[in-house]
Amino acid sequence: MSGTEKDYYHSLYEVAKVINSSLDPSKVLHKISRQVTEAMKLKAASIRLLDKEGKRLMLGSSYGLSKGYIRKGAVRVEKSGLDQEALSGRNVTIHNACSDPRFQYPEKAKEEGIASVVVIPLKIEDQYIGVLRGYSETCREFTDEEIEFLTIVANLSAIAIENARLHQKLKLDCELQEAFEYRLFED
């Protein structure tokens, strides 16, 4: 087993631990972004989730990106060929984000020092809910092993997001039930 494979297994173990240790989505997603960045020796990683209308990708977490880049503007699915491809179920790699027409903000990528990008869809059952992105500082090709690692992490991330959503819904249902019972017995 190579050192890279050991790093990936260790990172998958860390991601699984995070998912099982917290139902706070922001905490879980931030740790996943950090694990991906460190394991793949990337500049940064981010997780973006579709809004309720399915038109924009909202930042769920990031690691390694500047505040200026994060605030560059909304990621609109209709303007991002990269994300349209990913949200149709394909893993997408871009060798040079500064010159690829599928990347929505090429000038900002250049300012940020982003060269290559890999995007993996987040899927729960039959529905795509967002994307996991990895950013490198130099132009590179992502290997099959890297894509496989990111796909596994993306699937674990989707599970974590779904667990957090179900937990929040259950918590809200319990609060409403308690409020209803309180009103019922107080009257």
Instruction: Determine the pLDDT at residue 187.
Output: 64
| Residue percentage of the chain with pLDDT more than 90 | 58
Q: How far is the C-alpha of 131 from the C-alpha of 123, rounded, in Å?
A: 9
Instruction: Determine the pLDDT at residue 1.
Output: 63
pLDDT at 17 over 90: no
Can you state the percent helix, strand and coil of the chain, rounding each to 5? 50, 20, 25
Structure confidence by residue, pLDDT tens digits, 134-155? 999 999 999 999 999 999 999 9
Q: Which of 22-36, 48-62, 63-77, 99-113 has the lowest mean pLDDT?
A: 22-36
Task: Give DSSP secondary structure letters for 103-123.
Answer: -S-HHHHHHHT--EEEEEEEE
- Write down the pTM of the prediction: 0.85
